[in-house]
Every structure is written in C-alpha cells, then in structure tokens.
Structure 1
C-alpha cells in the first residue's frame, strides 16, 4: 500500500506542477469515463454487489446519452480502489465506484472529488481458514499468516474487526493478496487465514475451507460501504451531466431494491464468474431496500465518518478527511424529487437502528 500511496502522490504532484486546469467547454462531453474498483474472475469486465452493476449491464447510461453523441466508457480495475485512485489522479476517469478506504486515501492525498451516492452498503466480511485448521475463534489468528487485500475496504474492515478482540494488524503476519490469489493460497495452506467475501463460497462448497467469523448478523457498524464519486473538475464543467448520471443510477437503485427483482439482479452479478446462488445466500435475510439504498442517511454518513476517523487512527491515511464537505447531496436530492422517491428508502440512525418516520 505504501508504494501505491507514493505513486499516487507523485501523480498528483505532477498534475499540480503541470498546472492542469479543467475545461469549460459545452456541457456535452465526448465521453463519460467510469472507473469500477472491481473486475470479475479472470479479469472479466463486470462487477457485483451494487446497482451500478445493473446500470452497466443494461447499458442505461449509454441510452441516456445516445442522443447527445456522448459515449460511456467503463473501466474495470482488478487492482481495486488503489488502481482507481491512480486513474483518478492521472485524469483517466471522471466517475468512480470504490470502497470507503481507498476513496479516503485519495481524498487525504489531495484528490478533489465529490461523493454522490452510497453504493454497496452493509457489505459483510468473512474470515476463512483451511477446513482442517486448528484455529477455532477470531482471537486464535494472533501470530498467524493472514491474507488481506491492502489498500481496499477490506484493510479498514479487518482493523475494525480485529479491534473487537483486542488485536491489531501488527499482531498478524499480513500477506497482501487479492481475492483470487488469497483463495488459492488458502486452499494450498500457504496462509493460515484470509479476510474474504462471497468469493470464497465456492471453496466452502468443496469442503476446502471453513469460517471463523463473519460480520453477517453482527453490529452493522462492522460492515463496509462504498461510494460513487465524481471528480471536482468534471462536476464543475458538466453539472447537468452529473445530474443525469445520478438520476439514472438512482432509478436503477430503486429497481434493485425491489424484492421481486432480486433473482434478475443476482443473475447480473453472476457475470463476474460467481454463481447467482452465492449472492442469494450472502443476502439471505437482508432487506434489499437497505442494501441498495443510495442515500447518505445518518447511518451511512456516520459510517463514512467512522471510516475517516479509524483510517487516521490506524495510520491508513495521513491527514483528517472532512466527510460533510465531501458529500454533495444536491444531485441525489434532485433525482429523488424528480423520480418521486424521496420517501422510498428506509433511513437509519448513526448506530444502524431504524429511524421512525415523524
């Protein structure tokens, strides 16, 4: 992660020295470039876990901007959030979907972005070990070799989870591996445990791994969240485009929130190379309106603030990040009003408890 941070800092410095200024041309860009902090199995150009995946597969933004002659370019990064940050810093993408930690890292290093929508909220983490592992509890991983995808939301989530049993990253022998590599290492007994997700369900089905712990059913503050953001330059130059993009995404978030649409949504997510049944299992018992809400309600806002505070505490970012000034609610509020969805999604207080409508 240190190399990623240094690389991003150098890119930002070069941009500042070069005096790069935003273009103020007509509000019809030739192309809208979207960075996605995920790629499917084997690098497939698909993502999962959010309504943005459905927007991509259905070509909804392409349809929205077809009459303007504006192309929509989707970029999927196997390097996840850190790779998206590099693309943002070098001006290669205008919008991005990524986890809270990498977005905060970029923000703390000077990336000027605006957080537009919540996406992929209440994401659960699993700690997997080989099926024949002697480890029994979360506390047992102390001193063991554990894989995690550093620089992504998994790193911050891991730090939060470990703190519940009095452990820190320093108590483990951390190996930085992406999801696919981590699962291979786990099945080959090259690591003792791994922080992972529904990507690991296949190995469990084969009897190769078991789980020591999961955030599912635990305190919702231990879950993760991601966001959809736009560069400040693009937002200033093309404000109407930002509003239209947000409106399309909010409309699809509503589709993804309907219980009757879950099988179709899981089929879309399955394009990453994971069976739809695994997504159904991962979200069993969950309210799709909660998981697919684009709102920055008190809980999600507090989650981003806790992530900012914890990132600084765990020394994952170098300077404080002001979440309130980062979130731009105007495009979302306009979309909710235009689509008549102002009261569609439930809201929760800072601790994740339902807010009773007045």
Structure 2
C-alpha cells in the first residue's frame, strides 16, 4: 500500500512543470542573510538610518526573528545623494533583497528588466517646495516662465515638478532647467545663479538664512503629487521567500505603528534630527498634516494614481523605454497579512484624497 502511494506521488510530481519544482526547491532553502538598503547618514562617526528603518534597527525584532531561523540581517547604507542609482545597481547585481527608496528610480529599474515589488507603501509621501530668492517678485510658477530653475533630474521630486507645470499649462521647454543636486541647487539660488529652486524640506533652511522664500509646496496639491519612497523587494526573493518577506514587512509595520503614535512624535523627530536636519525643519515639514497619516501603509487610490502617473511621465520624458504595469509593481498581500497579524486592520483609514489636478 505504501509503495503504491509512493508511486502515485512520483507520477504527480512528474506532471509538475520543471520551473515550479525548481522554485519550490529554492524556496525550501533559506538564505544566510537578508540585505536591506536604506538611506543612512554619518554623524559624529556614527551611522544613522533614515526613517522607520531606524526604528526597525533599534527594536531588534526583525533581527531576533531571523536569528531564530539562523539568518542574519544586513543593513546596506546608501548615501542620499546617489541612493537611486546605488539601489538599482545593488538590485541588478543581486546584492540586496529589499530597499527603502523612491518612485522614479524603481520604475526605471523595472523598465530596464530589474524586477522589484512594492511590498509596503512608505506613508503619505514627502512634500516638495518651489523656492525663489528672498527678493524675487515671483509668486507662482507662471511668473518664472523663461527663467532659470534648479532641479535634480531623475530624482523622485521631478514628477511633482512635472505635475505642477502641467496643471499650469506649462512644459519643461518653458524654462531653463539646471540639473543640480539639492546642495548645488541651494548654492546656486543663494548666489543668484538661478531664479528658482525645486527641492525638498531643505527649502526651510533657505528661508531661515533669509536667502530664499517658498512660493509653492505640495501641501497645496493633491496627495498623489507628493514625492514617495517605499519598501521594495527583489521579485525573485519575494516569490521564493514569502515567509521571510512577511517578516520584513511586519517589522516595518510595527515600526510604522510605533512612529505614527502621537506620543512618540517628538522622540521620532529627535531620531531624524541626528541626520543633521534641524528639528524646526522636521516640524514644519509636517505642520498642518495628519501625523498618523504620514505613515499609512495602505495601498490606496492616491498611491496607485501616483505610480500610474509616474510611469506615464517616465515614458513621455523618455526616462524609460520599456513598459511597466502599475498593477505588477504593487504587492499588497504582505501588508494585508501583517496588519491582520498585528491587529491593526483599522488603525489607518483609506484616504479619500482629492486626486483632481490643481496648481
């Protein structure tokens, strides 16, 4: 009887596709380590991770869970000036399994054949700002037509700039765009070499130094206009190691939940300030916005619209040649399961954001 059962089992296995058997064999073999890339800062000789990654590393929950399985956790630091390029190269060379980074670089990676999955949304997004010299008479993007604008091309906030132009009936050709990183852009604005600068929260530093003033921010726009950064996983790893992927996502959700509690707001902003960003800037960045909503991990309409627009823009701007399916990028099942396991299904509410274009 046992021999007959064994024969039947072997026959069934013989009918399975070879690729399926191969994937099952790989899935049964856990890796020796899990490698997660994240933006990191060097401060007083110490490496500080950015955002929820800091909390994940502090809490040690993920490290402990992986240790039970004889797996090590390796954080891979990425410099903020080159995080997109660095992470894409690491994914392409299979040197990392996960990464916290932005939208345009991840779309570029997928269009070039480096397949990744968005396994956990990184909150509601970061604001972006249009800054002009303190003595400028410009009050809107329309006033800057024909002028010089500093913008770091290919970075996530380029999409926000493109949306601002489109909403005002303008195009890149209407301006003299200088491709400068945030540090060089700030210096150019301060020296009067450009008439405007499109950037992140470092805009507040220019106001504090009285060399610039903010005339527009994404706080005035729909939520899908914000710059986004998420937790991405290598598609092969996600498919072959779903249990380990779930651990990483659950650890992220635990960190996001702790951070989203108003009682932990000052402590968390204190962590971020270790990167060198003044606390007053961090406070102004989220002023007037929901603190809990800053860390929502939900796959809501604003997120989907953002990535659909980002793909469309990348094609129009010829940042990519290949096609990218927005539905293929998003992998929500791990967040769904993680929220259920943590009993947080109702902690964050889906945001019925206004997605209509407006300046």
**Range into which the TM-score falls when normalised by the shorter chain:** 0.7 to 0.9
Q: Is 1:66–2:60 an aligned residue pair?
A: no
Match of 1:105 in 2: 108
| Aligned-residue offset at 1:231 | 0.5
Q: Is 1:33–2:35 an aligned residue pair?
A: yes
Contact 1:148/1:155 (8 A) holds in 2:
yes
Match of 1:302 among 301, 305, 309: 305
- CA 1:57/1:187 → structure 2, altered by over 3 Å: closer, same or farther? farther
Q: Paired residues, what number? A: 332
Match of 1:121 in 2: 124
Contact 2:32/2:71 (8 A) holds in 1:
yes
Q: Is 1:218–2:221 an aligned residue pair?
A: yes
Q: Is 1:273–2:276 an aligned residue pair?
A: yes
Match of 1:184 among 187, 196, 212: 187
Q: Is 1:283–2:317 an aligned residue pair?
A: no
Q: Which whole-Å CA distance do the structure 2 matches of 1:45 and 1:184 have between them?
A: 26
| Aligned-residue offset at 1:282 | 1.0
Secondary structure at 2:121 match in 1: strand
Q: Would you identify which runs of 4 or more consecutive aligned residues in structure 1 move more than 4 Å? A: 37-45, 57-60
TM-score (norm 2): 0.84
| Aligned-residue offset at 1:222 | 2.2
TM-score (norm 1): 0.84
Q: Is 1:148–2:151 an aligned residue pair?
A: yes
- CA 1:47/1:230 → structure 2, altered by over 3 Å: closer, same or farther? same
- CA 1:158/1:60 → structure 2, altered by over 3 Å: closer, same or farther? farther
| Aligned-residue offset at 1:26 | 5.2
Secondary structure at 1:33 match in 2: strand
Match of 1:90 in 2: 93
| Aligned-residue offset at 1:47 | 5.0
Match of 1:3 in 2: none
Q: Which whole-Å CA distance do the structure 2 matches of 1:164 and 1:232 have between them?
A: 35
Secondary structure at 2:125 match in 1: strand
Secondary structure at 1:122 match in 2: coil
- CA 1:116/1:285 → structure 2, altered by over 3 Å: closer, same or farther? same
Larger Cα-atom Rg? 2
Q: For structure 1, which runs of at least 5 residues remain unmatched after alignment?
A: 1-20, 354-358
Contact 1:37/1:83 (8 A) holds in 2:
no
Match of 1:203 in 2: 206
Q: Is 1:75–2:77 an aligned residue pair?
A: yes
Contact 2:34/2:71 (8 A) holds in 1:
no
Q: Which whole-Å CA distance do the structure 2 matches of 1:220 and 1:349 have between them?
A: 10
Secondary structure at 1:351 match in 2: coil
| Aligned-residue offset at 1:324 | 1.2
| Aligned-residue offset at 1:246 | 0.5
Deviations 1:104-123 (A, max 9, x none): 11111111111101104232
- Kindly report the root-mean-square deviation, in angstroms, between the aligned alpha carbons of the 2 structures: 2.6
